């Protein structure tokens, strides 16, 4: 089984109504966070920052200290091989709401936590958001 590692960001901003809104990306077949492969020589947070910039154009993000969550799942690659992927997610705030999508996505939306929990396609992505919300509530 091939092993892969990716890193991503749960990015939020505080809207004018004082409600946190999280950035979700539409991958065409599912809704998720900005994420991608950790490149050789990168640590996880560097990869997460790079992927955020590549997928959204956002370079200004303040990462919440002491928050990271890993998920692991298995899927079949393009050639039918089994791949075990681990993705580490970080939590970050931004004041930037203009998004420049990469070619990997067909859309995006800034949504409330409640909307995000409904729209996220995968259970493990919802669990990461719930952990992030608990962290934010403790600050």
Look up the domain containing 102 and give its range.
2-137
Residue with tokens 């950790």: 38
Q: Please tell me the pTM assigned to this model.
A: 0.95
In angstroms, rounded to a whole number, what is the distance separating the alpha carbons of residues 124 and 139? Answer: 23
DSSP-derived pairing of the beta strands 34-37 and 2-14 = antiparallel
Domain count of the fold of the chain: 1
CATH number at residue 71: 3.90.79.10
DSSP-derived pairing of the beta strands 82-93 and 2-14 = parallel
Backbone φ and ψ of 72, nearest 5°: -135, 140
Q: Going residue by residue through the chain (139 aa), what tens digit of pLDDT does each one get?
A: 999 999 999 999 998 889 999 999 999 999 999 999 999 999 999 999 999 999 999 999 999 999 999 999 998 988 889 999 999 999 999 999 999 999 999 999 999 999 999 999 999 999 999 999 999 999 9
């Amino acid at each position: 089984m091939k092993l892969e590692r990716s890193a991503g960001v749960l990015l939020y901003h505080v809207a004018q109504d004082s409600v946190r809104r999280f950035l979700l990306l539409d991958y065409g077949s599912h809704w998720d966070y900005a994420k991608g492969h950790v490149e050789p020589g990168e640590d996880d947070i560097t990869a997460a920052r790079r992927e955020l910039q590549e997928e959204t154009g956002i370079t200004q993000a303040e990462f919440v200290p002491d928050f990271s969550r890993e998920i692991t799942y298995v899927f079949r690659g393009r050639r039918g091989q089994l791949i075990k992927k681990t993705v580490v997610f970080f939590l970050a705030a931004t004041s930037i709401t203009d998004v420049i999508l990469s070619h990997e996505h067909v859309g995006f939306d800034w949504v409330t936590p409640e909307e995000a929990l409904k729209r996220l396609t995968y259970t493990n992505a919802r669990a990461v958001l719930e952990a992030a919300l608990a962290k934010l509530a403790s600050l």
